[in-house]
Structure 1
Amino acid sequence: MSTTKPVEVVNGISADALGSIAKRLIRRLGDSSFSRLLDEDEERQAINTLKINEADLNALVQFSAYVFEEAAYQTQEPDSFEAHLNESLGVLPKHASVMRNVWESEATAYIGRLREKHLLGSKILSDTTWTTHLCVATSDDDPASTKGPPRSKSDKKNTQATSVFNLHMNNDSEPPLAIEFSHQELYAFFQKLQDIQHGIDSLSS
């Protein structure tokens, strides 16, 4: 990600150029036939045309993909989408208007592709519950443990705490998805979530 804020990159190019690249990007979002949103030749052409560097182009692509994906999940109306870009994210009015026009013309097809890939629809997280468990295993359960000298009480027990998360979907007919973590696994999982949150914050700040 460029050190330049993505919104500054968006505002720094012409509105017409933004509309052109945004339309190309949204037509490829959710389309599995494209391995990447812009191929190498298109990236070089965009860098030369927009007079920006590769890092800024990546920021522009990621920002555009982010706002379109967010709008799709929220099924935003064009006016609401434009207001969000301008008032919440700081996109210039003319640039926000261009993005609005792209969203208005391409949203139906884009959301349709997402539905086909099951990214939208019934499986939406509605609630999360969790419980903790303490598993205790004793060496007495092992026949081999009766051999040899007596062990101390601390040697005979091995405890491990685990957490079980139940992910409830908005479809009540489906049972919740249960995921069990050890302490180390849970820590690593939340570290990954924190990295994802930082990435989202960098796009929306």
Structure 2
Amino acid sequence: MSLMFSSTTSIKKAVDFINELDAKLLTPLLSRILQKIHLKDERSFTEDEEEKLQSTFNLPGHDLELLLETLEFFLQQAAYHLAKPAVLTQQLMNLGINEDKVNIIVEAWTTHAKDVIQKLARRTLAPNQLSDINWRLNLEMANMGRSKMKLPNAMFELKITQDDAQKKEKIHLEFSHDELYAFYNQLETIQKQLDNLD
């Protein structure tokens, strides 16, 4: 397996903080990070919680932030590389993290790995996802100006899921025959371009 972590100045500083932490406090810290790691725009801890952590760990704000970001980085890299416990253990030990802390990090990773990887796999770059399509064909036979006519149109309802399935929205579209045909041709062009990428 490739090297997951490089010993940068920031990581060395964070490693010192990790080594000084009370082992009993590291487990809940990792557990919270692992619960929220798949959420793009959400921090693991609220501002109030971070203030409490600062006093608990006796760290100023920027040092606490470095500690939390480094632990999150370790876990993200473990997920990206689908790290086996033995490999993660060795790479964390190479950074100079004490063995008891390495064991806690690896145990937390091993316990939550499957769930984290599944959540990260479902995460997408686009905030909106098409989740369902309903459609209906209408045929207008007459109106006030004309008694005999055949005017077909198609009605679509697109169900859009936003922000990790928290919000759902429905979009309604109506196409005449010509508009639907033009839209179909555009979709065909997109499909050909996608096929060419394979």
Report the Cα distance in structure 1 between the residues aligned to 2:36 and 2:19, rounded to whole angstroms: 23
Instruction: Quote the Cα distance in structure 1 between the aligned partners of 2:50 and 2:56.
Output: 10
Structure 1 counterpart of 2:63, from 56, 60, 69: 56
Distance 1:98 1:48, change over 3 A: same
Separation of aligned partners in 1, 2:108 and 2:55: 23
> Is the counterpart of residue 175 in structure 1 residue 197 in structure 2?
yes
1:40 aligns with 2:47: yes
Partner of residue 34, structure 2: 26
For residues 18 and 107 of structure 1, the distance between their equivalents in structure 2, rounded to whole angstroms, comes to 17
Q: 1:18 deviation in Å?
A: 1.5
Cα separation, partners in 2 of 1:118 and 1:174, compared to 1, 3 Å: farther
Residue 16 of structure 1 contacts residue 98 of structure 1 at CA under 8 Å; is this kept in 2?
Answer: no
Choose from 1, 4, 7 the match for 2:15: 7
- Deviation, structure 1 residue 6: 1.1
Q: Look up the SS of the partner of 2:197 in the other structure.
A: coil
Match of 2:123 in 1: 117
Percent identity of paired positions between Structure 1 and Structure 2 = 23
1:19 CA drift (Å): 1.7
**What TM-score do you get using the length of structure 1 for normalisation?**
0.54
Q: Which residue of the partner structure matches residue 102 of structure 2?
A: 96
1:3 shift after superposition: 10
Give the structure-2-normalised TM-score: 0.56
Which structure exhibits the higher relative contact order, with contacts defined as CA atoms closer than 8 Å and separated by 6 or more residues? 1
Is there any run of 5+ residues in structure 2 with no aligned partner, and where? 1-8, 126-194
Pairs within 5 Å for 1:51-200? 51-86=58-93, 88-118=94-124, 175=197
Moved over 6 A (4+): 1-4
